[in-house]
Every structure is written in structure tokens, then in C-alpha cells.
Amino acid sequence: KLYAVLAADAGASRPSRVVIVDLSVPTSPQEVFSADLSPGFMHDALLRDGLLFLARWDEGLAIWDVGGGGRGGSPSNPVPISCIGTVSGSVHNAWWFRDPAAISSRYVFVGEENAASLFTFSSGDIHVVDISDIDNPREVAFYGVEGAGTHNFWMDEARGVLYAAYYNGGVRALDVRGDLGTCTATQRAPDGRCNLALMGRELATGVAGGQPVSIWSVQYSGGFVYASDMLGGLWKLEPVAP
């Protein structure tokens, strides 16, 4: 079956909810689950292989079993597994990396959208959460750009490359294959997390040329990377190899 996971955020007029809709019959969608999330809210969701990841802003990244977590959950009866508050909060989106080369599903990449001034300044890191122990997820690494913050990202999973929209910082391509939680002392932040930039994981930056950009979203498709720029339109970029 095909399902949609909806963030129903109506401000102060009614409590924020997560809603799951069965789309098996497109002409007759059926709501199969709804839950009150107040006083917090949900910005985004990722449903993959029976696990549901909810971006719950300052409450963190929540993980629910909806059929793949071994807890007896289903889309109509999700079972919460765990929730992790990432550093600095503002959990905006997530991508669970299923690495076909290593046959690994260890890491979830979490986007943080923090303070910003439209078109000129943004902030927020990419946080790497290790879910090897899904009951006790741990943040093990991060990637940040001075003066810019991430918004949405997409992965070329076959090559292990994460492409991130970084607003005024353009597009950033990261090599995310292998062990991201082990690094040297000089590559580690004071709080113990590995710094992907200091580990040499940044492969390339996109949309060069010096003109101002505000990259809202990015998608890898058909051998190219497409980036939506609120200032300059649509960019088509060559991918990179790790």
C-alpha cells in the first residue's frame, strides 16, 4: 500500500497533529491514524522500510515502528521506539541512509534550520545520528558551514554522496560512506562529535560564479543534481564522485 504522512500544524487554532493516510485507492484516501503532538509540532517526516522518522523541531527526531521495527507497529497503530534531541534542536528534515555497498543502515542525517535572514544569512548544521541501537540513538557527527545553514537534502545512495541545499551557501556535496563516528582528536568537537568538514568529507560546492544564491532544495535524478534557487531559478549540476 501507499501511505502519506502529514504534518497538520494549524498554529494556535488547534493542536498540531501527525496524520497517516492510506492512498491505496487514490480517489478515496482514508485517514488511518492521527495523534496530537502538542505542545510541540512536526515539520517533516520520512517513512521508509517500516520505520517512520518525525522531525519534531526542538523535541528532536522521533522514530516510530509502522511495520519494520519489530515492535508490532503498523500505519494505523504506530509504536514509538525512541526520540533524540540533536544539538541546537530545530529538527527540520531527515534522511535514513541505506548504503547498498556496505549493506548498512546505520546513519540518519538530520537537517537543522535555525536563525536566518532571507537571502543573506542562514544557520543550521547537518547532524549525523547513529541508530545501530535504535532504542538509544546517538549523535556522532555533524557538518556546518560558517554563515550558512542547511534546508533540504537528497542522496545519491549508490555512490554514498549527500547533496545539501545550504541557502546562501549554495549546494554542498558530502562523502558519507563508511564510519562517520570515528575520527582523530583534531577532527573532533569539544562535545565529542566528529566534524565531517575536518575529516575531509566535503567533496564539492555547487553554484559557483560569485553571484548571490538562496538554494531552497536539491535533488539527484538521472545522473544530475537539480537545485532550486529562490534568487536565480533552477540549476542543473554535474554530480561528484567520492
Is 56 a residue whose pLDDT tops 90?
yes
Strand partners, 81: none
Average pLDDT over residues 88-92: 97
Q: What was the pLDDT predicted at 9?
A: 86
Average pLDDT over residues 68-81: 97
Average pLDDT, the chain: 95
Q: What's this model's pTM, rounded to 2 decimal places?
A: 0.95
Sheet with 51-55, strands from edge to edge, namely 44-48, 51-55, 61-65, 79-84
Q: State the Cα–Cα distance between residues 203 and 200, nearest whole angstrom.
A: 8
Q: Which burial class, exposed, middle or buried, applies to 157 when counting CB atoms under 10 A from its CB (0-12, 13-18, 19+)?
A: middle
pLDDT in tens, 92-125: 999 999 998 877 899 999 999 999 998 889 999 9
Q: State the Cα–Cα distance between residues 89 and 76, nearest whole angstrom.
A: 28
Is 208 a residue whose pLDDT tops 70?
no
pLDDT in tens, 77-87: 999 999 999 99
Strands 224-229 and 61-65: unpaired
